[in-house]
Amino acid sequence: MVGMRGAYGGGGGAYNDSKSRPHGGGMAAAPVTEQEIAAMAVHKVAPPPAQSTASKMKARVKETFFPDDPFRAFKGQPLGTQWLMAVRYLFPILDWVPSYSFSLFKSDLVAGLTIASLAIPQASSIFSMHLSMLCMGISYAKLASLPPIIGLYSSFVPPMVYAVLGSSRDLAVGPVSIASLIMGSMLRQAVSPTAEPLLFLQLAFTSTFFAGLVQASLGILRLGFVIDFLSKATLVGFMAGAAIIVALQQLKALLGIVHFTTEMGIVPVMASVFHHTNEWSWQTILMGVCFLVFLLSARHVSIRWPKLFWVSACAPLASVIISTLLVYLFKAQNHGISIIGQLKCGLNHPSWDKLLFDTTYLGLTMKTGLVTGIISLTEGIAVGRTFASIRGYQVDGNKEMMAIGLMNVVGSCTSCYVTTGAFSRSAVNHNAGCKTAMSNVIMALTVMVTLLFLMPLFVYTPNVVLGAIIIAAVIGLIDLPAVYHIWKMDKMDFLVCVCAFAGVIFISVQEGLAIAVGISIFRVLMQITRPKMMVQGNIKGTDIYRDLHHYKEAQRVSGFLILAIEAPINFANCNYLNERIKRWIEEESFEQDKHTELHFIILDLSAVPAIDTSGIAFLIDIKKSIEKRGLELVLVNPTGEVMEKIQRANEAQNYFRPDCLYLTTAEAVASLSALAKMTKP
Amino acid sequence: MVGMRGAYGGGGGAYNDSKSRPHGGGMAAAPVTEQEIAAMAVHKVAPPPAQSTASKMKARVKETFFPDDPFRAFKGQPLGTQWLMAVRYLFPILDWVPSYSFSLFKSDLVAGLTIASLAIPQASSIFSMHLSMLCMGISYAKLASLPPIIGLYSSFVPPMVYAVLGSSRDLAVGPVSIASLIMGSMLRQAVSPTAEPLLFLQLAFTSTFFAGLVQASLGILRLGFVIDFLSKATLVGFMAGAAIIVALQQLKALLGIVHFTTEMGIVPVMASVFHHTNEWSWQTILMGVCFLVFLLSARHVSIRWPKLFWVSACAPLASVIISTLLVYLFKAQNHGISIIGQLKCGLNHPSWDKLLFDTTYLGLTMKTGLVTGIISLTEGIAVGRTFASIRGYQVDGNKEMMAIGLMNVVGSCTSCYVTTGAFSRSAVNHNAGCKTAMSNVIMALTVMVTLLFLMPLFVYTPNVVLGAIIIAAVIGLIDLPAVYHIWKMDKMDFLVCVCAFAGVIFISVQEGLAIAVGISIFRVLMQITRPKMMVQGNIKGTDIYRDLHHYKEAQRVSGFLILAIEAPINFANCNYLNERIKRWIEEESFEQDKHTELHFIILDLSAVPAIDTSGIAFLIDIKKSIEKRGLELVLVNPTGEVMEKIQRANEAQNYFRPDCLYLTTAEAVASLSALAKMTKP
């Protein structure tokens, strides 16, 4: 066993046990006194301040679920104020509505009218943008195999709900392509939308209800971090794959095929396309290609000259108007071009009686709700964060989740399907200069007018144009520069990205996503299972110790092996660490043999934030096996939690005496080499 | 933007941009020269040595799959020797058999005979231990709802295979309780062992085949770390729960109940026990209780006086002999005591024709094989490691997996079910002083003798004694001191342990295990998702910076906020880090306002082993938003991988100039405060 030393041994432990300490073979034998050694290592490793388990748990729970400390402002306020603040927290609309007096409205009206007269072109462009989005809504509903009118309904109620509950000023909500795609493909597996349209609709509303419930619960339970597991790389790959799947689905409309596969994969879709060449309609193809070229050119113009953002924003509406006119004038519906057909006028019908909690479909709707809920939430939160960071305000993720969730729950009762904040809409909103959530209200009013009066105008709108609009929209989701950036930065992230992409295209949308999330998590687990360890050396003339491999000026300290572990030590890696450290020692013994013997193993625990029962068992085991080899193990700078567990292990048996704990590597090296000199025979 | 500094700015950058640098409000304005500042921070953060992606990948793959570097010894050997070494690697038996010459055998024989004459009592005790284990084999086969003879067969072939392939000297292989339990319960869900005994047997062999395949593949693919995810805490809870489930199942035999539930949970079993009180047989209960008391006393004796280990080892055999004699003498089988009945003499039949790869049951057998394979592998490896560490030799985990896996594949073709290294057997083996894998051969020979000649003796063995043997054996799996130790060390580990226990008892064996593994992994993920961050302060009179909360002597440096992050920065935590750091800055600004203004944020990255694309985006974002507040962010000691990614980010735009990178916190503080003094107006 190792002897006690003056510096740490509680004072007064003489070096009577010097035989057991390995001797400094190759070192100069200058006499060193106890006092000098004590001076070399004056900084004790302190135990962390005592804290009860309950208070530690409380701190950890707070850090996990309330990292943003949302009730900070509440502290020290009288009870009445606290209530008022809580209501305001839940309804951000109250931040600006109560101070909205009659005189304010008068001046707003005057100002508004003045500006309006100057800005009629801009206002009309915003209006036409909103109408363009309506066309997108119709298109997305078709993507989810739902009646087009549901897409319009979904652009009416949810924006109004969000205006009351949401805290982002730029987010424009409505149906989005990915969530529509996933909902359609998951529900189609069980029910055919053509054979049982009513049941399909009921399942869609029920899934929307569950999606809202999942989103709101994540917010209320403060589990917002769940969506953090969808990394940027996963999303880039997933979006690109989904965009291709969505675009391929539009081949049905674009080629005028009647009998199309219901599957989503690239293989069955292409097979279906080339099996039905006899159904291809040249009129449809011609129209589709023309409008697709028009839409893509408009998109290109807006990317090239950002000020002309309204060109691409208005293009969908223009396409719809022009194509509808063309069909109407040439009676093209009789020449193989399929049209939307009659849509009923009128606002959303209540649909709570359509929610279906039948056990036959409960599993399906819950699963669909979970997947679409999380995906659409991820999109909504990411869009909100992006614009908040551009404008320099904060968005509370958990609050947003509650807002989006409630919006979908209300939506499911008013004939809407899953909606969320869409990137393209919000970008238009932002570029058009919106200032408050009021823009969502205006958008809802536009939709209301459409629903009440303009529905007959859509009768002759050809489906092929909706297909072209979707393709032009989803092409923006394929973000090649981001893929290149990921490739350059991190090859593993690139792998995740490619897996998500390939999984979505070749297997299925959900499984592709699951594979990518699985790989991301597996990668994180691997970082724990195979933690980084480095051999450190001294940078000459300083007290600094750094990675030998990284810093060429760092030099081995003869007689010492200095290892730094960079991960929590736990069940998943203690076997690895054990074997790896033994291998380092073997290699190091071999390396150092030529010059001098190895005596001390220094384990730098600065970067070990936590340790568990298996980890402590590992430390004890490695200490024993190192001592069996006649070497000595010392630990440097254990952090609070690690120090606490070491103390508790010491209660059973004094494994880690104070004399094997040092605050810095430099002090450990100084003190140990002095000691080795002293105990030299 | 921040100005260039002489120390890092590539030499010669004058402080012409001093207006943008925040001014040191509360500091003394002593004149400081550029040279002094340069001297304060002489250590540059070096980029890591350039390395190609391929070589980095190679290093990572090696560290992941070959952490033990098994081919170390092969290097620099001629090709012939390498081949020889490879064969020896695969068949550890070759390590000692080839050098086993005739003269060695002669001396061994003489020595053996000499010792034998002195050690007949010991030899006979080892022999009776082996026979006791046979009785355990019969009992375990009943636990898996298999014919008792399969338990004997499984004690014959696998030990011989292991003797050839295995590298542990102490491991004694055979059927074990947990794997038997799991296999029985999983297969019973689909097929009734009483209604379709042949099909059940076929499924058992097929599951064994898949278990072996899984085990061998884990070894060959070097995925041994998969079993590391079963932490100590999980195993303790799981074992205790499984022991109680197993013991409860024995109530059938112990009470003489004929109509017993096939379910495993504590609730249905207890309900079944008290619904059939009319079937309780007092003779059976009396016999069972007597033998249970005898076996438990023997166990107690062996624990109390470790030298008497053979008492508990021989007790099962003694029980079987005595009870069989009792039944035979009193014709007790006519008085309500059920007996094993006729067993056929003869060695294992080949069973490869019984392997069933029918699609109906393929899913079930593969799943059963996977679960039992991993569980039994965990037990085998853990036992091997335990005894290797006691005796001070190394066991190669991946090699052991191949050995155990091949043993089970061979077993499945020779009428054996899943076997592995059992703790109780190996402990007896170790205590009896075994030296090589030869002990497994001797054990197999004992079984052979039994199978060939002693089978008729088992006819009258009562089932109640087998039940008592199992209960006495599994009680040892309930490790209360370990539970207490876990409770004391780590409350989260205790939670995992309790969840595994409760899950096994109340839900099912597999799901209990899945829940516990899930919680363990979730905990690891949470450590990444909510990483530790600490505010550091200076320990007076030194260059050491430590956690303010932990070290009372550490003091805040006015004007600075020093944060250390202790986890890889990746997609799972960059949102959290972003929000949390902003909150630190707000709180710190508030705190420091009284004395002096906050100017510099120092981010210590020493403990950040890795960073991904999202992490780099986070660093850039936090730098920008800190600069927006008029503060300055500097990074301290980024490790190799982090530094490399920072450089790559810099290629696009020069986000992190050399003047915001420092090697140590002390140098950063010294250099920045000197600069603040200089630029003071």
Tell me the pLDDT tens digit for each residue of B89-131.
777 767 666 665 666 556 555 554 454 444 445 555 566 666 6
Write down the residue that tokens 């516990």 correspond to.
B516
Buried b (16+ CB within 10 A) or exposed e, A287-320: bbebbbebbbebbeebeeeeeebbbbbbbbbbbb
Pair type for strands B661-662 and B632-636: parallel
Q: Mean pLDDT across the stretch A240-253?
A: 84
Q: Which of B48, B524, B542 sits opposite A572 (nearest CB)?
A: B524
Q: Quick check: B487 pLDDT over 50?
A: yes
Question: Is B233 in contact with A542 (Cβ distance < 8 A)?
Answer: no
Type and span of the H or E element at B535: strand B533-539
Residues in contact with B130: Cβ distance below 8 Å, sequence separation at least 6, in sequence order: B442, B443, B446, B447
Residues in contact with A491: Cβ distance below 8 Å, sequence separation at least 6, in sequence order: B53, B57
Q: Which residues make beta-bridge pairs with B537? A: B546
Question: Is B552 in contact with A486 (Cβ distance < 8 A)?
Answer: no
Q: Mean pLDDT across the stretch A526-555?
A: 85
Q: Are the beta carbons of A281 and A258 closer than 8 angstroms?
A: no
Per-residue confidence (pLDDT) for residue B14, from 0 to 100: 36
Question: Is A43 in contact with B493 (Cβ distance < 8 A)?
Answer: no
Please report the residues numbered 39 through 58 in chain A whose beta carbons come closer than 8 angstroms to any beta carbon of chain B: 43, 46, 48-49, 53, 57
Task: Name the residue with higher pLDDT: A492 or B116.
Answer: A492
Cα-based distances in Å from A375 to A265, A346, B316: 19, 31, 60
B99: phi > 0 → left, psi -120 to 50 → alpha, else beta; which? Answer: alpha
Q: Which residues make beta-bridge pairs with A546? A: A537
CA B578 to chain A, closest CA, distance in angstroms equals 10
B222 touches chain A (CB under 8 A): no
* Number of other residues whose CB lies within 10 A of the CB of residue B76: 7
Write down the residue that tokens 């491999």 correspond to.
A549
Question: Is A233 in contact with B552 (Cβ distance < 8 A)?
Answer: no
Token pair, residue B124, equals 């006979």
> Ranked by mean pLDDT, which of A80-94, A311-325, A407-421 comes out on top?
A407-421
**What is the spatial distance between Cα A678 and Cα A24, in angstroms, rounded to a whole number?**
9
Q: Are the beta carbons of B532 and B566 closer than 8 angstroms?
A: yes
**What is the spatial distance between Cα A431 and Cα A434, in angstroms, rounded to a whole number?**
8
Pair type for strands A600-604 and A632-636: parallel
Question: Is A549 in contact with B640 (Cβ distance < 8 A)?
Answer: yes
Question: Is B567 in contact with A609 (Cβ distance < 8 A)?
Answer: yes
**How much is the mean pLDDT over chain A?**
78
Question: Is B572 in contact with A610 (Cβ distance < 8 A)?
Answer: no
B229 touches chain A (CB under 8 A): yes
Token pair, residue B216, equals 């061998």
Per-residue confidence (pLDDT) for residue B250, from 0 to 100: 82
Q: Which residues make beta-bridge pairs with B632? A: B600
Task: Name the residue with higher pLDDT: A93 or A109.
Answer: A93
Q: Quick check: B26 pLDDT over 60?
A: no
Q: Is A136 helix (H, G, I), strand (E, B) or coil?
A: helix
Token pair, residue A118, equals 């100057």
Categorize the per-residue pLDDT at A9 as very low, low, confident or very high, splitting at 50, 70 and 90: very low
Q: Quick check: B478 pLDDT over 50?
A: yes
Task: Name the residue with higher pLDDT: A228 or B209.
Answer: B209
**What is the spatial distance between Cα B222 and Cα B224, in angstroms, rounded to a whole number?**
5
Return phi, psi of residue B654, to 5°.
-80, 70
Q: Which of A549, A576, A610 sits opposite B225 (nearest CB)?
A: A576
Chain B CB contacts of A66 below 8 Å: none
Give the amino acid at A293: V
**What is the spatial distance between Cα B311 and Cα B206, in angstroms, rounded to a whole number?**
38
CA B210 to chain A, closest CA, distance in angstroms equals 24
Q: List, for residues A423-475, the tens digit of each pLDDT value.
A: 777 776 676 666 666 667 777 777 788 788 877 777 788 888 888 888 887 78
CA atoms within 13 A on the CB side of B602: 30
Q: Quick check: B6 pLDDT over 50?
A: no
Residue of A nearest to B229 (CA): A572
Chain A CB contacts of B486 below 8 Å: 613
Question: Is B231 in contact with A570 (Cβ distance < 8 A)?
Answer: yes
Per-residue confidence (pLDDT) for residue B373, from 0 to 100: 92
**What is the spatial distance between Cα B480 and Cα B635, in angstroms, rounded to a whole number?**
48
Among B578, B611, B224, residue whose Cα is nearest residue A524: B611
Task: Name the residue with higher pLDDT: B482 or B393.
Answer: B482
CA B240 to chain A, closest CA, distance in angstroms equals 18
CA atoms within 13 A on the CB side of A364: 23
Q: List, for residues B351-392, the tens digit of each pLDDT value.
A: 888 888 888 888 889 999 998 998 888 888 888 877 777 776
Residue of A nearest to B528 (CA): A524
Per-residue confidence (pLDDT) for residue B369, from 0 to 100: 92
**How much is the mean pLDDT over chain B?**
78
Show the CA angle centred on residue A261, arms to residues A256 and A262, nearest 5°.
Answer: 115
Q: List, for residues A353-374, the tens digit of each pLDDT value.
A: 888 888 888 888 999 999 899 8
Question: Is A613 in contact with B485 (Cβ distance < 8 A)?
Answer: yes
Per-residue confidence (pLDDT) for residue A115, from 0 to 100: 46
Q: State how far Cα A143 lies from the chain centre.
A: 25
Residue of A nearest to B232 (CA): A614
Q: State how far Cα A408 lies from the chain centre.
A: 21
Residues in chain A: 681
ipTM surpasses 0.90: no
- Dihedral sign for Cα atoms in the order A623, A626, A630, A636: negative
**What is the spatial distance between Cα A204 and Cα A190, in angstroms, rounded to a whole number?**
12
Q: Quick check: B674 pLDDT over 70?
A: yes
Question: Is B580 in contact with A389 (Cβ distance < 8 A)?
Answer: no
Among A165, A665, A199, residue whose Cα is nearest residue A410: A165
Q: Within B27-76, where are the H helices?
A: 34-40, 53-65
* Number of other residues whose CB lies within 10 A of the CB of residue B500: 30
Cα-based distances in Å from B609 to A160, B80, B393, B567, B619: 46, 42, 32, 7, 15
Q: Which of B488, B525, B567 sits opposite A648 (nearest CB)?
A: B488
Residues of chain B with pLDDT > 70, as a percent, come to: 81
Task: Name the residue with higher pLDDT: B5 or B578.
Answer: B578
Chain A CB contacts of B637 below 8 Å: 546
DSSP designation for B681:
-
DSSP designation for A411:
H
**What is the spatial distance between Cα A188 and Cα B289, in angstroms, rounded to a whole number?**
61
Per-residue confidence (pLDDT) for residue A249, from 0 to 100: 81
Pair type for strands A661-662 and B600-604: unpaired
CA B579 to chain A, closest CA, distance in angstroms equals 7
Per-residue confidence (pLDDT) for residue A3, from 0 to 100: 37
Residue of A nearest to B52 (CA): A491
Chain A CB contacts of B528 below 8 Å: 524, 527-528
Q: State how far Cα A508 lies from the chain centre.
A: 21
Torsion of CA A234, A237, A243, A246, to 10 degrees: -70
**What is the spatial distance between Cα B270 and Cα B265, in angstroms, rounded to a whole number?**
9
Chain A CB contacts of B46 below 8 Å: 550-552
Cα-based distances in Å from A539 to A89, A181, A443: 54, 58, 64
Q: Are the beta carbons of B49 and A549 closer than 8 angstroms?
A: yes
Q: Is A622 helix (H, G, I), strand (E, B) or coil?
A: helix
Q: Quick check: B27 pLDDT over 60?
A: no
* Number of other residues whose CB lies within 10 A of the CB of residue B385: 17
Question: Is A549 in contact with B48 (Cβ distance < 8 A)?
Answer: yes
Residues of chain A with pLDDT > 90, as a percent, come to: 7
Q: Is B206 helix (H, G, I), strand (E, B) or coil?
A: helix
Q: Which of B46, B385, B572 sits opposite A229 (nearest CB)?
A: B572
Pair type for strands B560-565 and B533-539: antiparallel
Question: Is A663 in contact with B232 (Cβ distance < 8 A)?
Answer: no
Q: Which of A234, A613, A649 sits opposite B493 (nearest CB)?
A: A613
Residue of A nearest to B531 (CA): A609
Return phi, psi of residue A531, to 5°.
-70, 155
* Number of other residues whose CB lies within 10 A of the CB of residue B363: 10
CA B28 to chain A, closest CA, distance in angstroms equals 28
Question: Is B583 in contact with A69 (Cβ distance < 8 A)?
Answer: yes
Write down the residue that tokens 């190609």 correspond to.
B52
Question: Is B550 in contact with A228 (Cβ distance < 8 A)?
Answer: no
Q: List, for residues A140-186, the tens digit of each pLDDT value.
A: 887 788 888 888 888 888 888 888 888 777 788 888 888 888 888 88
Torsion of CA B548, B554, B556, B561, to 10 degrees: -50
**What is the spatial distance between Cα B254 and Cα B284, in angstroms, rounded to a whole number?**
6
Cα-based distances in Å from A483 to A548, B332, B641: 34, 79, 20
Residues of chain A with pLDDT > 70, as a percent, come to: 80
Question: Is A612 in contact with B493 (Cβ distance < 8 A)?
Answer: yes
Helices H / strands E in chain A, number of each: 26, 9
Give the amino acid at B199: L
End-to-end CA distance of chain B: 18
Categorize the per-residue pLDDT at B214 as very low, low, confident or very high, splitting at 50, 70 and 90: very high
Q: Quick check: B33 pLDDT over 80?
A: no
Q: List, for residues B387-437, the tens digit of each pLDDT value.
A: 777 776 777 778 888 899 999 999 999 989 999 887 777 776 676 666 666
Token pair, residue A580, equals 């790896």
Residues in contact with B213: Cβ distance below 8 Å, sequence separation at least 6, in sequence order: B369, B373, B405, B409
Token pair, residue B547, equals 């956690």
Q: Which residues make beta-bridge pairs with B603? A: B563, B635
Per-residue confidence (pLDDT) for residue B13, from 0 to 100: 36
B192 touches chain A (CB under 8 A): no
Chain A CB contacts of B234 below 8 Å: 571
* Number of other residues whose CB lies within 10 A of the CB of residue A82: 15
Q: State how far Cα A492 lies from the chain centre.
A: 17
A122 touches chain B (CB under 8 A): no
Q: Is B302 helix (H, G, I), strand (E, B) or coil?
A: helix
Enumerate domains of chain B plus CATH numbers.
18-44+532-678 (3.30.750.24), 53-90 (no CATH), 103-477 (no CATH)
DSSP codes joined into one string, A627-676: HHTT-EEEEE---HHHHHHHHHHHHHS--S-GGGEES-HHHHHHHHHHHH
